[in-house]
Amino acid sequence: MSLKNFAKYFSEKSKDKDLVQRMIETLRGELSKGKAFEDEEDLKDRIRDICLSFDSTLLRDQIIQVYMGAYNVDFILLRGLLAMEVKLVKSREELERAVTEIVSHIPAFSSIYSNVLFLIYDGGAVIKNPDEFKRSIESKSDNIMVLVIKRDL
């Protein structure tokens, strides 16, 4: 690889990372205000609307098959650069179920996608310490990001 191609590769990688961060900040800002979501499909519809401003070719509800089985991915964005899984939790049981599913998806998703975002919308003030919760999941792989959304009251 020439120095020019090497520099171009890292320049594009940096732009992609900036775009992913802008998208995450937009999701955080838009989803934390306004009406609370009672249904996960309504939440996904709103996320789709937000993400369309970043990527008009986003894919929704894709099933991927890997050597460990078949998995459903809620969104694939930016030419496959980012996979996003969305969870709406309103009770402790829903949170436990969501965490179990997230942890089981990490090996497959992190091996396929450059960036994986797990967006958890806390609709019942279930997550007491969002930073600790985020760290516990992100520590499982380098390309995993967790965004916990708590609605502003």
pLDDT at residue number 152: 59
Distance CA 119, CA 151 (A): 13
Query: Count of H helices and E strands in the chain?
Result: 4, 5
Question: 125 — alpha (psi -120 to 50), left (phi > 0) or beta?
Answer: left
| pLDDT at 72 (0 to 100) | 80
Amino acid sitting at position 67? Y
pLDDT averaged per 10 residues in sequence order, the chain, 153 residues: 48 68 92 87 93 79 57 84 93 95 90 92 91 94 93 61
Q: Residue 62 is which amino acid?
A: Q
DSSP letter at 27 equals H
pLDDT score of 65: 53
CATH number of 3-150: 3.40.1350
Return the domain boundaries, the chain: 3-150
Q: Is the dihedral of CA 113, 29, 134, 123 positive or negative?
A: negative
